[in-house]
């Protein structure tokens, strides 16, 4: 796992008139000056790494100047990630804290958390790093966090995980979905390959769901639950998330079987000793950035209104880009799990995320997108390569004519059920929840993908194998009913329509059995 790195410790620490006990702060977490000097000496003995390290703490002179003007998402992601490491320069010094310790203690104590959030000089140095020395970079992190944090919170809440865990991807990956550590940990939550597979992530030649910020958050929630069940303490679970269960167990044994983070602290790896303090500081940043006159930076070309489709066929991202006019770069950013730009949807449906502004054109031109398959994929199946013969026609079946209706397409769902829209939900998130296509969800409820939905609104979700017809130019309701030999009234009722309802090319009409 990755962790915000080296901290230069100050040589003195002064706790003002009230004690840590009266402020609800764990006394064991208070700074020990001799311990700080010992750790600082060990850090100073590290080889001086002059090359560029983790980019939250790096930018060229030109890039630094551009912060005031705003940056596009590609530049921000480049600034906020480095696959090699995320430690600070060994000789880097921190400015004096702009707040007295009493203020930090009061604020941390006031944060609503069931996780022990200690305060000591190590924590303070991380806070100073985030809100003072690296304030501009932190503001871009906050800009990303405005999009990602609500998603993290919703998923963590589903698994009954403390919402404070939303801060882990900040110190793990600086909210980069594609960052890879030197050890191979990948994605926002920095999963190793085997751990990711163990917690349900698909990882193969084409797909790496460690890079999918939604799928990986589900996996991280499951993993954190496992760690908490094992250690019975969220702080130890956080440490184990960084260095592994076995390492924490060994530290517990070396500490005389004590099961308190600050008791086992000297026996943990160097990066893990900084991990919990960085976690506290990241939560402090999210909560109190305004008090430090900071604000989330608006990121140029960072589309946050997204719809999700389930793709049940093999598809190249370039096919989509060519037809709907969305840049391949943007498609890759929204779908980083596809390592080779290929959605291998033949084994099962996979998710495709596109900006909401492109939803209508995607639905309208879906068939055109599929028609490009032969350009990108060649069949590897060869039938009778030597003596291939044409199949004999079965003359007991009448030949098809222009009047023969096209075979209706089908969508796989279950028996109809009702979903009540919750706060913050969109059509895309609801489609994702039920693993159905957004276009099908819209067809079932006779709405457009751009329709605004409201909390409390009811949406029908279907599930059995259901036939449907894609409306073409010139279609009308009666002609469609006749074409498929179905009752018009039954078709209208199934689609919540009347005889006066207008048809839109690309719209899907469910057909009664």
Please give the positions annotated as active site.
Answer: 172
**Residue whose C-alpha is closest to residue 34's, from 5, 11, 6, 14:** 11
Kindly list the distances between the CA atom of residue 301 and the CA atoms of 75, 80, 263, 452, in Å, as whole numbers in the listed order: 11, 16, 47, 23
272 within 8 A of 261, measured Cβ to Cβ: no
Number of residues written out for the chain: 513
What is the full DSSP assignment across 456-479?
T-EEEEEEEEEEEEE--TT--HHH
**Residue whose C-alpha is closest to residue 346's, from 197, 193, 461, 204:** 204
**Maximum distance among all Cα pairs of the chain, rounded to whole angstroms:** 98
CA angle 55, 169, 243 (to 5 degrees): 95
Name 261's Cβ contacts closer than 8 Å, sequence gap at least 6.
116, 233, 235, 236, 239, 276
**Residue whose C-alpha is closest to residue 10's, from 47, 40, 46, 44:** 40
Element (H, E) at 511: strand 508-511
In angstroms and rounded to an integer, the radius of gyration of the C-alpha atoms of the chain is 28
Element (H, E) at 286: helix 270-288
Kindly list the distances between the CA atom of residue 464 and the CA atoms of 137, 233, 468, 494, in Å, as whole numbers in the listed order: 50, 45, 12, 14
Distance CA 463, CA 419 (A): 13
Distance CA 123, CA 100 (A): 13
Distance CA 503, CA 496 (A): 13
CB atoms within 10 A of CB 236: 23
The owner of tokens 């969508």 is 411
416 within 8 A of 512, measured Cβ to Cβ: no
Structure tokens at 83: 């696959």
Tell whether the torsion through CA atoms of 308, 313, 316 and 319 is positive or negative. Answer: negative
């Amino acid at each position: 796992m990755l962790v915000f790195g080296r901290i230069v410790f100050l040589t003195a620490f002064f706790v003002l008139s009230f004690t840590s006990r009266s402020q609800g702060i764990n006394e064991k977490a208070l700074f020990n000056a001799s311990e700080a000097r010992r750790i600082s000496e060990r850090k100073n003995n590290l080889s001086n790494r002059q090359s560029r390290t983790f980019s939250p703490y790096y930018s060229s002179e030109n890039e630094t100047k551009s912060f005031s003007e705003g940056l596009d998402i590609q530049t921000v992601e480049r600034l906020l990630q480095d696959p090699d490491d995320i430690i600070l320069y060994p000789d880097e010094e921190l400015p004096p804290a702009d707040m007295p310790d009493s203020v930090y203690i009061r604020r941390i104590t006031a944060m609503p958390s069931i996780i022990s959030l200690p305060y000591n000089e190590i924590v303070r140095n991380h806070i100073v790093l985030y809100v003072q020395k690296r304030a501009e970079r932190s503001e871009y992190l906050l800009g990303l966090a405005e999009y990602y944090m609500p998603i993290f919170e919703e998923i963590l809440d589903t698994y009954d995980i403390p919402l404070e865990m939303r801060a882990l991807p900040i110190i793990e990956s600086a909210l980069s979905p594609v960052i890879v550590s030197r050890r191979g940990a990948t994605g926002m939550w920095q999963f190793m390959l085997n751990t990711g597979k163990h917690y349900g992530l698909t990882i193969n030649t084409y797909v790496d769901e460690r890079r999918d910020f939604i799928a990986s958050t589900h996996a991280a929630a499951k993993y954190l639950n496992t760690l908490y069940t094992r250690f019975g303490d969220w702080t130890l679970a956080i440490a184990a998330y960084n260095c592994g269960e076995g390492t924490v167990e060994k530290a517990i044994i070396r500490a005389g079987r004590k099961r308190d983070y600050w008791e086992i602290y000297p026996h943990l790896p160097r990066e893990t000793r900084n991990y919990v303090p960085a976690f506290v500081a990241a939560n402090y940043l999210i909560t109190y950035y305004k008090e430090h006159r900071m604000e989330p930076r608006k990121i140029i070309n960072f589309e946050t209104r997204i719809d999700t489709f389930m793709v049940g066929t093999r598809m190249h991202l370039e096919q989509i880009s060519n037809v709907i006019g969305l840049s391949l770069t943007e498609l890759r950013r929204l779908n980083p799990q596809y390592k080779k730009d290929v959605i291998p949807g033949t084994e099962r449906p996979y998710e495709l995320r596109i900006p909401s502004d492109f939803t209508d054109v995607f639905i309208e031109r879906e068939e055109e997108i599929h028609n490009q398959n032969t350009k990108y994929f060649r069949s590897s199946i060869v039938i009778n390569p030597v003596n291939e013969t044409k199949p004999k026609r079965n003359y007991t079946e009448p030949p098809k004519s222009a009047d023969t209706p096209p075979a209706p397409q089908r969508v796989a769902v279950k028996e109809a059920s009702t979903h009540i829209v919750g706060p913050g939900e969109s059509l895309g998130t609801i489609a994702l929840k039920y693993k159905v296509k957004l276009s099908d969800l819209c067809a079932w409820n006779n709405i457009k993908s751009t329709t605004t939905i409201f909390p409390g609104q009811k949406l029908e979700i279907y599930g059995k194998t259901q036939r449907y017809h894609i409306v073409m130019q010139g279609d009308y309701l009666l002609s469609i009913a006749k074409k498929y030999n179905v009752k018009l009234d039954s078709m209208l009722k199934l689609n919540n329509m009347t005889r006066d309802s207008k048809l839109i090319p690309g719209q899907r009409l469910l057909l009664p059995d």
